[in-house]
Amino acid sequence: MPLVVFCGLPYSGKSRRAEELRVALAAEGRAVYVVDDAEVLGAEDATVYGDSAREKALRGALRAAVERRLSRHEVVILDSLNYIKGFRYELYCLARAARTPLCLVYCVRPGGLSGGPRVAGADESPSRNVSVSWRPRAEEGGRPLAAGTGVLGELQAVDSVVNGRAQAEVPKELEREETRTPDFPALVTSEFEKSAEHVSGAFYPPELLEALALRFEAPDSRNRWDRPLFTLVGLEEPLPLSEMRAALFENRAPPPHQSTQSQPLASGTFLHQLDQVTSQVLAGLMEAQKSAVPGDLLKLSGTTEHLRFTRPLTMAELSRLRRQFISYSKMHPNNENLPQLANMFLQYLSQSLH
């Protein structure tokens, strides 16, 4: 069954959207399984993303959990940050090997930085692209974080000129922005969200959020492992269920790599017959060219293919081509080709010699 990968920074609504999708698919009678950080770690722990070794182990555990669940009977939803494109490519390879469709859901907080496409109207200056309202609530009461921490403290300490204005004006604007009520939606905004079973309860420090925003590799629909891509901004935008159903249940799965496929069964005498048939063809060609003139067609008994004679052929040259044909045939053994081995070898010689 299909794999749905959620991607986005913390507090972007991934868990809400994953739960909404799970409920919608379960209402249709489909078996749905959600894989998230809490299931792998036992409890949500945001500090794991501050330790590269622990984060690498977490990605490996998430990948293993998805691989165990991928089957023809369940829809697997991966609810995690998934901000590294290399990890998303690994998930794409898993779905490709399982011959199941995949789609990516990119959740973006409205008015905030998500490491991907910039917010409309944002200034091109790196120092001015920091959104104060993007920071999460520090406590359950909804009070914003204290000023002077993280990016704000660094901005207030800079003495340079930003966008042609004295830096002394910048702290005043930031101070007015800090006193404003954060413009991101509350964690609980509807009856459905109140009844959701899974709500992210991990707290991400501002420093960690800033680091994740810098490390974030936004999905790109031009990459085959990032499409089909659905971008959701905030929690107010409805989930595109009809388009997602078409992508998951109507699209064909990506074809698996040839190197991961099992070789077709071949009889135990395939190589012996291949060696015998090619040797007989070489012997017949050496005998037929003795009485041939350039332009004649060399015909062998038991074959329908012919080889046009243009110049004398040496046994060394034919033996080299025979070894190449045997090497290729051993990579693609097929019992159905046994009666046509002589004709296939003559075709190969004709294409290689002319």
The whole-number pLDDT of residue 262 equals 62
249 - beta bridge partners? none
pLDDT tens readout for residues 215-264: 999 999 999 999 999 999 988 888 999 999 999 998 888 776 666 566 55
Q: Could you tell me which residues come within 8 angstroms of residue 33 by beta carbon, excluding any fewer than 6 positions away?
A: 69, 74, 75, 76, 77
Q: How far apart are CA 280 and CA 163, in angstroms?
A: 83
Q: How far apart are CA 177 and CA 50, in angstroms?
A: 28
Q: Are 201 and 207 in contact (CB under 8 A)?
A: no
Q: Are 131 and 111 in contact (CB under 8 A)?
A: yes
The whole-number pLDDT of residue 328 equals 86
7 - beta bridge partners? 106
- Across residues 58-80, what is the average pLDDT? 91
DSSP, collapsed to helix, strand or coil, labels residue 250 as helix
Q: Which of 217, 186, 208 is nearest to 199 (CA)?
A: 186
Q: Which of 350, 335, 337 is nearest to 300 (CA)?
A: 350
Residue 132 has pLDDT above 50, yes or no: no
Task: Give the side-chain half-sphere CA count within 13 A for 105.
Answer: 32
Residue 294 has pLDDT above 90, yes or no: no
Residue 202 has pLDDT above 90, yes or no: no
The whole-number pLDDT of residue 21 equals 95
The whole-number pLDDT of residue 83 equals 95
Q: How far apart are CA 294 and CA 285, in angstroms?
A: 14
* Structural domains of the chain, with CATH: 3-112+127-135+202-258 (3.40.50.300), 268-352 (no CATH)
Angle between helices 315-331 and 270-288 (to 10 degrees): 150
Q: How far apart are CA 107 and CA 16, in angstroms?
A: 10
Average pLDDT across the chain, whole number: 75
Which residue did the predictor score with more confidence, 73 or 320?
A: 320
What pTM was computed for the model?
0.54
Q: Are 121 and 166 in contact (CB under 8 A)?
A: no
Residue 25 has pLDDT above 70, yes or no: yes
Q: What is the pLDDT confidence band of residue 99, given thresholds at 50, 70 and 90?
A: confident
Q: Which of 33, 25, 19 is nearest to 71 (CA)?
A: 33
Q: What is the pLDDT confidence band of residue 17, given thresholds at 50, 70 and 90?
A: very high
- Across residues 95-116, what is the average pLDDT? 79
Q: Please count the other Cβ atoms lying within 10 Å of the Cβ belonging to residue 183.
A: 13
Q: How far apart are CA 131 and CA 120, in angstroms?
A: 12
- Across residues 171-183, what is the average pLDDT? 40
Structure tokens at 341: 């081995």
Structure tokens at 117: 């496409």
Amino acid, res. 281: V
Q: Using the Cα atoms of residue 245, residue 246, residue 251 and residue 256 in order, give the sign of their dihedral.
A: negative
The whole-number pLDDT of residue 214 equals 94
Q: For residues 244-277, b (16+ Cβ closer than 10 Å) or e, as one string?
A: beebbeeeeebeeeeeeeeeeebeeebeeebeeb
Residue 79 has pLDDT above 90, yes or no: yes
Residue 134 has pLDDT above 70, yes or no: no
Which residue did the predictor score with more confidence, 213 or 334?
A: 213
The whole-number pLDDT of residue 320 equals 93
Q: Are 61 and 51 in contact (CB under 8 A)?
A: no
The whole-number pLDDT of residue 353 equals 84
pLDDT tens readout for residues 296-347: 888 888 888 888 888 888 999 999 999 999 988 887 777 667 778 888 999 9
Q: What is the pLDDT confidence band of residue 112, given thresholds at 50, 70 and 90?
A: low
Kindly state the percentage of the chain with pLDDT values over 90.
39
Alpha carbon distance, N-terminus to C-terminus of the chain = 49
